[in-house]
Amino acid sequence: MPDSDERIDRVAHRPGRARRAVGVLLGCGTSFLGLLYFAGPGTLLGPFLLRPRTRDRARAALGAGARRLVGPERARRVVFFGDRFPPRGARADEDLRALRYLAARTYAGLLCTVVLGLPAVGAVLAVVLAAGVARSTTSWSEPAPQVVLGGVLLLLDLQGLSSLGALDARPAREYFGPSEKELLRARIDELAASRAAVLRAVDAERRRIERDLHDGVQQRLVAPAMLLGRARRNRTPEQAGALLEQAHQESRDVLTELRDVAWRVCPTALDSLGLQEALGGVAQRCSIPLRMEFALPPTLPRPVETAAYFVVSEAVTNAAKHSGAGCVQVRLTGERSLLTVRIEDDGRGGADPAG
């Protein structure tokens, strides 16, 4: 997928709470810079944004300033929150996206400043209330409702800070990294490409089976039919017997070839005997010495066994036909659902790297 490498990842060790707290406080400070920017240059350029003739230049000027302000925001997210963003390319709507991000960042930062200020106000009120109790100007029963209300408000404030952290991270992911729409589009493209590849592979395999049946088995079946026809027309018992014997041998050869075709389509030994025994059949049919070593887990997923069988079978067949090797060695090792297949021969090689 074009995907995958553009996805935003977290570093292996997430920064501690102290570092993230510093990042939140810095975010509150940078939000005032955004507020000043929209209140100053934004107000001055506002009338020019309303006129069609000057709208593009005003937007470009305002967007250029916004891009300078969002640069430190990227560094803040990387250093204090451990975000890792992909490299950004130039986009046609970069100015508008920068303005949108700066507005969202300013709103989230100012709201976070207000939420952080509430515990400070509550702490001041708690100190005043405690001082009143200490001076005996307030009875112990009077601050009880305030303490309960303060605890509830503190819990809501902490929950609000957690939500504001997500509100601050989401625009950063949208702006500095690929958006959710872009990730979804890339995923759709990847699925479409993989589906097309699967369809091509299935079609190629179907054509190969049709070719094997048409050019091989079907042509071989013609010979027994012709021999049987000649035997029926021949009146000499000796010649008829010879023709029948030849037809019988041809039918046995056709049956063997048909079994080979069926074996290449789906080896039945995988169902009944397992991968090791199925590959033993490959070794028996190989025209050169084949040595196999197995260190397999007790069970393997069926797709893994099937893929391993066809990989080994195809590689061994190619080595026997084209490499001029005197010996082939196959080693299969694995654990759980991971299987490693290593195939070596002492032939001359000659594989095309571009093929």
Assign residue 282 the CATH number of its domain. Answer: 3.30.565.10
CB atoms within 10 A of CB 30: 19
Residues 172 and 289 occupy one common structural domain: no
Tell whether 162 and 18 lie within a shared domain.
yes
* Pair of tokens at residue 92: 């046609």
Map tokens 């250029």 to a residue: 64
Clarify whether residues 155 and 301 are in a common domain: no
Residue 16 sits in the same domain as residue 153: yes
In a domain, 230, yes or no: no
Q: State the first-to-last Cα distance of the chain, in angstroms, to the nearest integer.
A: 22
Long-range CB contact pairs, 61-69, < 8 A, 24+: 62/95, 62/99, 63/94, 63/95, 63/96, 63/98, 63/99, 64/95, 65/37, 65/41, 66/37, 66/95, 66/98, 66/99, 66/101, 66/102, 67/94, 67/95, 67/98, 69/30, 69/33, 69/34, 69/37, 69/102
Same domain, 143 and 276: no
- For residue 183, is it within any domain? no
Per-residue pLDDT tens digits of the chain, which is 355 residues long: 334 344 444 433 567 778 777 877 888 888 888 888 888 888 888 888 788 888 878 878 888 888 888 888 888 888 887 777 766 655 656 777 788 888 888 888 888 888 888 777 777 777 777 776 677 665 666 666 767 777 777 777 777 777 777 777 777 777 777 656 666 887 888 888 888 888 888 777 777 777 767 666 666 777 777 878 887 787 677 777 887 888 888 787 777 777 666 666 666 677 777 888 888 888 887 888 889 998 888 888 888 888 888 888 888 888 888 888 888 999 999 887 788 999 998 888 766 667 6
Determine, yes or no, domain membership for 79: yes
- Enter the DSSP assignment of 327: -
- Give the pLDDT score at 180: 62
Q: What is the pLDDT of residue 339?
A: 87
Q: Which of 178, 202, 236 lies at the terminal end of a domain, its last residue? A: 178
Nearest residue to 343 (alpha-carbon basis) of 284, 282, 302, 298: 282
What pLDDT shows up at residue 261? 67
- Indicate if 8 and 143 belong to the same structural domain: yes
> Is 204 domain-assigned?
no
Q: What is the model's pLDDT at position 330?
A: 92
Instruction: Look at the pTM and tell me if it is higher than 0.85.
Output: no
Neighbours of 282 (CB within 10 A): 20
Does residue 340 sit within a domain? Answer: yes
Name the domain count of the chain.
Answer: 2
- In sequence order, what are the beta bridge partners of 345? 328
The residue from 178, 212, 237 where one domain ends is 178
Domain boundary among 124, 151, 178: 178
136 CB-near residues (< 8 Å, 6+ apart): none
- Residue 165 shares a structural domain with residue 311: no
pLDDT for 331 equals 92
Identify whether 188 is part of a domain.
no
Domain boundaries, position 123? 4-178
166 and 293 share one domain? no
**One domain, residues 15 and 114:** yes
Q: Do 174 and 273 have their domain in common?
A: no
Q: Is 148 within the bounds of a domain?
A: yes
Are 280 and 170 members of one domain? no
**Would 238 be classed as within a structural domain?**
no
Q: Are 34 and 173 contained in the same domain?
A: yes
